Amino acid sequence: MNANIAALLYLVAASVHPGAARTVLARHVGRGNLLGMIGMTIAVLTTLARIRRPRHLLGAGLGGIAIGGGIGAVIARRVR
Protein backbone atom coordinates (compact mmCIF):
# COMPACT_ATOMS: atom_id res chain seq x y z
CA MET A 1 0.00 0.00 0.00
CA ASN A 2 1.23 3.45 -0.90
CA ALA A 3 2.36 5.53 2.12
CA ASN A 4 0.22 8.48 1.02
CA ILE A 5 -2.93 6.36 0.87
CA ALA A 6 -2.14 4.88 4.28
CA ALA A 7 -1.64 8.35 5.76
CA LEU A 8 -4.98 9.47 4.31
CA LEU A 9 -6.76 6.43 5.75
CA TYR A 10 -5.18 7.01 9.16
CA LEU A 11 -6.35 10.64 8.99
CA VAL A 12 -9.90 9.54 8.22
CA ALA A 13 -9.83 7.03 11.08
CA ALA A 14 -8.46 9.63 13.50
CA SER A 15 -11.11 12.17 12.54
CA VAL A 16 -13.97 9.68 13.03
CA HIS A 17 -13.07 8.88 16.65
CA PRO A 18 -13.74 12.33 18.16
CA GLY A 19 -17.09 12.31 16.39
CA ALA A 20 -17.86 8.99 18.02
CA ALA A 21 -17.04 10.38 21.47
CA ARG A 22 -19.22 13.47 20.91
CA THR A 23 -22.07 11.30 19.71
CA VAL A 24 -21.86 9.08 22.80
CA LEU A 25 -21.81 12.13 25.06
CA ALA A 26 -24.90 13.44 23.27
CA ARG A 27 -26.67 10.20 24.30
CA HIS A 28 -26.74 8.67 20.85
CA VAL A 29 -24.77 5.67 22.04
CA GLY A 30 -25.63 3.34 19.17
CA ARG A 31 -24.47 5.84 16.58
CA GLY A 32 -21.35 6.62 18.61
CA ASN A 33 -20.46 2.94 18.87
CA LEU A 34 -20.91 2.56 15.12
CA LEU A 35 -18.64 5.54 14.37
CA GLY A 36 -16.03 4.19 16.76
CA MET A 37 -16.12 0.77 15.13
CA ILE A 38 -15.79 2.27 11.66
CA GLY A 39 -12.79 4.38 12.68
CA MET A 40 -11.02 1.50 14.40
CA THR A 41 -11.73 -0.86 11.49
CA ILE A 42 -10.17 1.59 9.04
CA ALA A 43 -7.09 1.97 11.24
CA VAL A 44 -6.60 -1.76 11.84
CA LEU A 45 -7.17 -2.77 8.22
CA THR A 46 -4.75 -0.08 7.04
CA THR A 47 -2.13 -1.38 9.46
CA LEU A 48 -2.68 -4.98 8.34
CA ALA A 49 -2.45 -3.96 4.68
CA ARG A 50 0.95 -2.36 5.32
CA ILE A 51 2.43 -5.56 6.81
CA ARG A 52 4.68 -7.17 4.26
CA ARG A 53 6.98 -9.42 6.29
CA PRO A 54 6.74 -11.52 8.40
CA ARG A 55 3.35 -12.92 7.54
CA HIS A 56 2.76 -14.42 11.00
CA LEU A 57 2.09 -10.87 12.23
CA LEU A 58 -0.96 -10.84 9.99
CA GLY A 59 -2.41 -13.80 11.89
CA ALA A 60 -1.63 -12.13 15.21
CA GLY A 61 -3.35 -8.96 14.01
CA LEU A 62 -6.45 -10.84 12.91
CA GLY A 63 -6.50 -12.68 16.22
CA GLY A 64 -6.32 -9.37 18.05
CA ILE A 65 -9.21 -8.03 15.97
CA ALA A 66 -11.31 -11.09 16.85
CA ILE A 67 -10.58 -10.88 20.58
CA GLY A 68 -10.96 -7.10 20.80
CA GLY A 69 -14.06 -7.11 18.64
CA GLY A 70 -15.67 -9.79 20.77
CA ILE A 71 -14.95 -7.91 24.00
CA GLY A 72 -16.13 -4.65 22.44
CA ALA A 73 -19.36 -6.24 21.22
CA VAL A 74 -20.16 -7.58 24.69
CA ILE A 75 -19.47 -4.21 26.32
CA ALA A 76 -21.44 -2.32 23.66
CA ARG A 77 -24.49 -4.51 24.24
CA ARG A 78 -24.40 -3.79 27.97
CA VAL A 79 -24.51 -0.01 27.50
CA ARG A 80 -28.01 1.35 27.79
pLDDT tens, position by position, 18-67? 777 777 677 777 788 788 888 888 988 888 888 777 767 777 778 888 89
Task: Supply the pLDDT for residue 11.
Answer: 92
Sort residue 54 into left (φ over 0), alpha (ψ -120 to 50) or beta.
Answer: beta
Distance CA 75, CA 32 (A): 13
pTM as predicted: 0.70
Distance CA 12, CA 15 (A): 5
Confidence of residue 80 (pLDDT cuts 50, 70, 90): low
